[in-house]
Amino acid sequence: MNPDFNICYIVGAMSLTPGLRPSPRPGDYVIAADLGYDSLMAYGVSPDLVVGDFDSLGRNPSHPNVIQLPAEKDDTDMAYALRQGLGLGYRRFLLLGGVGGRLEHTLGNLQLLEWLARRRAQGFLAGQKTVATCIQDGQCVRFPADMSGFLSVFCNSGRAEGVDLTGLKYPLSQYTLTSDFPLGVSNQFLGTEASVSVRTGSLLLVWEDRGDFYDKLPGLWVR
C-alpha cells in the first residue's frame, strides 16, 4: 500500500447516487461519516471505519471499528473523518454524500477542500452531478479533451495571482482573480485538453459530472 497514491473515501450523510458508489481497491480506505454508514451498506460497501455523533443515523452502528463523537464539537463528522485519513498517511480523498443537503454543510465541505490543499493533500467533493476540487500555490489540474459542459473557477479568499486557464472558451493568462467577484463562473470546455493553474493563492474548481467522474479521475489528481 502507498497512501500517497491510494484513495481515502469519506462518505457523508447526503444522498449518494448509484454512479458514485465507491469501488475501493487494495490499499484504499473507506470511512463512513454518520448517516454515510447506511448509504455504504445499501450499496454493499463495508467501511473500514465509522465516525460520527450519529444524530443523523439515529443509532450506534453495528460495526467493529467505530469512533463515537460528542454532539458538541468543533469538527464536523466529515472533518473528523478527514483528520483520520490524513493521520493514516493518505493524501488523496474522495468526499461523497457531501453536496445537496443543508447549504451550510455543503459550504463547509467546500471549505474542507482548501483545508486539505493546505496540508498538501487533494480532495474531490462529488455529488448532485457536480464535482469540486481545490488547487493552490503552483499547482495545476489538467482536464482531458473529452470533458464537456461548464467549469467555474473561483478565488477562495483574498487574491489568486498568476492564474492561467487554457483550452477553455474564456482563457486567462497570468491573471489575478479576487474573492469578491465571480469572474470565473460558467466557463466552458471546448473538446480539447484544458488546464487550470495558479502561481500563488487558492482556487476552487467546480464542474459538471456527466456520469463519468471515476473514468476521468486518474488524470485529475494534482502531481
* pLDDT given at position 130: 92
pLDDT of residue 138: 95
- pTM greater than 0.75 (yes/no): yes
* Mean pLDDT across 64-84: 86
**Residue 43: what pLDDT?**
87
pLDDT confidence of residue 99 = 79
Distance between CA atoms of residues 127 and 194, nearest Å: 22
- Tell me what pLDDT residue 20 has: 87
Which whole number is the average pLDDT over 73-92? 92
Query: Radius of gyration (Cα) for the chain, nearest Å?
Result: 17
Max CA separation in the chain (angstroms): 53
> For residues 179 and 213, what is the distance between their CA atoms, to the nearest angstrom?
27
Mean pLDDT of 175-201: 97
Q: Which residue, chain included where needed, has cell 463528522?
A: 77
Banded pLDDT at 177 (limits 50, 70, 90): very high
Identify the weakest region by mean pLDDT among 10-19, 87-96, 147-156, 192-201.
10-19
Task: Kindly indicate the confidence band of residue 82, based on its pLDDT and cuts at 50, 70 and 90.
Answer: very high
Among the residue ranges 48-62, 106-120, 184-198, the one predicted with the least confidence is: 48-62
pLDDT at 47 over 80: yes
58 φ/ψ sector (left φ>0, alpha ψ -120 to 50, else beta) = left
Residue-level pLDDT at 1:
63
Average pLDDT for 117-145:
94
pLDDT for res 181:
96
What pLDDT, on the 0 to 100 scale, is given for residue 115? 95
Over residues 150-156, mean pLDDT: 97
Residue 14 predicted with pLDDT over 80:
no
Per-residue pLDDT reduced to its tens digit, 86-126? 999 999 999 998 777 778 888 988 999 999 999 999 999 99
Could you give the CA distance from residue 184 to residue 61 in angstroms, rounded to a whole number? 43
